[in-house]
Structure 1
Amino acid sequence: MFTHRRRSRKTRRAVLFGISAAVVGAGAIVTPQAFAGTLPGFGRDGTRAGFFGFGNRNGSGSGAAADSGGDCSDVQLVFARGTGEPQGLGIVGRPLAQALASELPDQSVSSFAVVYAAASNQRSAGPGATNMSQHIAEVAADCPQTRFVIGGYSQGASVTDIAIGIRNAGTAGEAIPENLNDRVAAVVVFGNPLGLRRQTIAQNSPEFGPKAKEFCNTGDPVCGGGNNFAAHLAYPRNGSVQEAAEFAAGKLG
């Protein structure tokens, strides 16, 4: 947590933007919760209730009518929120769920918010990956026709990295079973801390790289080593979410 020092440029910048951050390892991990209330259309808890059926606070819900398989949907978005956000899809996942449903008007789309602590020490990413992987395995068994779009924001991107088999030095978790890799149609991540190691999903995963898209804003300290904390909070409103939805819809065919 930044502390106040009169002559600290970094501190003045943090106070100016109203950001709470934890310095972990190679870079500053921004807490999206500090900005949630300032994003147009979003509440302090980072949610935007009542559209396209994504009104549940835990982030789960259906973006369209369920198909003939009962609770099974054609597509499910499995998304991990960022550090410090309350349980749910978060400030990036919720508009992504809406955009994905809009891009797939002829398919039923549901969503699942990965259940994990999203703690500032970043070590909760491993347990989050385990929850993501186990959930996908359970749904895949119950719904043999459902395909998945997976992803995350900030620490949630680390959750996704681990779930697709990319090792993280600070934490460990279960990966998606290899026999289900083909059921994952697309991977979309925003502000991925993997970028601080100058690495990408494509470099680390021959299996998932071709169906992955990563977003890292210029100046984002979490993925690009910059010092513009506002850049890390801009993904919901700078076109990245819509681009991610279009990419995922294209992979779903």
Structure 2
Amino acid sequence: MVLRRVLGSLGAAMALPAALVSCVAAAPPVAAQPCPDIEVIFARGTGAEPGLGFVGDAFVDALRSKVGGRSVGAYAVNYPAGWNFDSSAPAGAADATGRVQWMADNCPNTKLVLGGMSQGAGVIDLITVDARPLGRFTPNPLPPRLADHVAAVAVFGNPLRDVPGGGPLPALSGTFGSRTIDMCALDDIFCTKGLSLGAHFSYVENGMVNQAADFVAGRV
């Protein structure tokens, strides 16, 4: 029940005004490096140390192994990934949007991939789900100018699946639906009605990270 209430808090976070999501300035470049052929913009899960998180690291490694000689950069969404979802998730959405904008302006030929794990999947939901009421969610999707730079979306343990009116991300995004894979492990407590916390951390071992990388490689 506690975990269900936590999940409900994430839904409340996504209901915040769009202005809060868009108030953060565009993300600056991580380093002055040549533009990669592909960049993965990934939001880690709740409580993970700053970086891509273990699922994000595995996903980027798997994708690199599937795209031949093309270069794959990675950007870790800069956000708290904390338990105060009311501030954490919108901050992540703002930073992810800023990074997409920066890449579109400075590396227009780079194919972008959006990804997230757990709360990080919720961050990606905020900028990809259609702009219409969805339970307590108020998405603020990327504008067309930026969305055109996103080749694929991959999320894991997505809490949007287990909220009223929710479901798999591809079904809730007219813009990104065909470009999106939404992985949910059997009995994952955060994306199903199941009760397995272990399933929520199984995406590398159960093959779903590799499956998602295959999907994305086919679209970049």
Q: Shorter-chain-normalised TM-score: which range?
A: 0.7 to 0.9
Q: 1:230 to 1:141 in 2, by over 3 A?
A: same
The CA distance in 2 between the partners of 1:25 and 1:137, in whole Å, is 29
Partner of 1:177: 143
The answer to whether residue 24 in structure 2 is matched with residue 24 in structure 1 is no
| SS at structure 1 position matched to 2:96 | helix
Do 1:130 and 1:174's aligned partners in 2 also have CA atoms closer than 8 Å?
no
The answer to whether residue 39 in structure 2 is matched with residue 73 in structure 1 is no
Alignment of 1:47-62 (within 5 A): none
The CA distance in 1 between the partners of 2:209 and 2:36, in whole Å, is 21
Deviation at 1:155, TM superposition (A): 0.3
Larger of the two Rg values belongs to structure: 1
**More deviation, 90-99/199-208:** 199-208
Alignment of 1:1-253 (within 5 A): 23-26=5-8, 70-123=33-86, 124-166=88-130, 175-197=141-163, 198-252=166-220
Do 1:129 and 1:175's aligned partners in 2 also have CA atoms closer than 8 Å?
no
Deviation at 1:119, TM superposition (A): 1.4
| SS at structure 2 position matched to 1:24 | helix
**More deviation, 235-244/197-206:** 197-206
Amino acid at match of 2:42: F
Using CA pairs below 8 Å that are at least 6 residues apart, which structure has the higher relative contact order?
A: 2
Q: Which runs of 5+ in 1 are unaligned?
A: 3-20, 29-59, 63-68
Identity of aligned residues (%): 37
Q: Deviations over 1:33-62 (max 9, x none)?
A: xxxxxxxxxxxxxxxxxxxxxxxxxxx989
The CA distance in 1 between the partners of 2:34 and 2:201, in whole Å, is 34
Q: 1:175 to 1:127 in 2, by over 3 A?
A: farther
The CA distance in 2 between the partners of 1:178 and 1:100, in whole Å, is 25
Deviation at 1:92, TM superposition (A): 0.3
The CA distance in 2 between the partners of 1:122 and 1:102, in whole Å, is 34
Amino acid at match of 1:213: I
More helix by share: 2
Amino acid at match of 1:113: A
Amino acid at match of 2:97: S
The CA distance in 2 between the partners of 1:161 and 1:188, in whole Å, is 11
Do 1:137 and 1:177's aligned partners in 2 also have CA atoms closer than 8 Å?
no
The CA distance in 2 between the partners of 1:202 and 1:75, in whole Å, is 21
Over the residues paired in the alignment, what is the CA RMSD in angstroms? 2.8
The CA distance in 1 between the partners of 2:203 and 2:47, in whole Å, is 16
The CA distance in 2 between the partners of 1:155 and 1:107, in whole Å, is 30
The CA distance in 2 between the partners of 1:196 and 1:129, in whole Å, is 20
Do 2:188 and 2:200's aligned partners in 1 also have CA atoms closer than 8 Å?
yes
Q: 1:190 to 1:25 in 2, by over 3 A?
A: closer
The CA distance in 2 between the partners of 1:251 and 1:126, in whole Å, is 28
Which TM-score applies when normalising by structure 1?
0.71
The CA distance in 2 between the partners of 1:177 and 1:245, in whole Å, is 25
Do 1:133 and 1:175's aligned partners in 2 also have CA atoms closer than 8 Å?
no
Q: Deviations over 1:179-205 (max 9, x none)?
A: 121211110000000011241212221
Q: 1:174 to 1:207 in 2, by over 3 A?
A: closer
The CA distance in 2 between the partners of 1:101 and 1:26, in whole Å, is 35
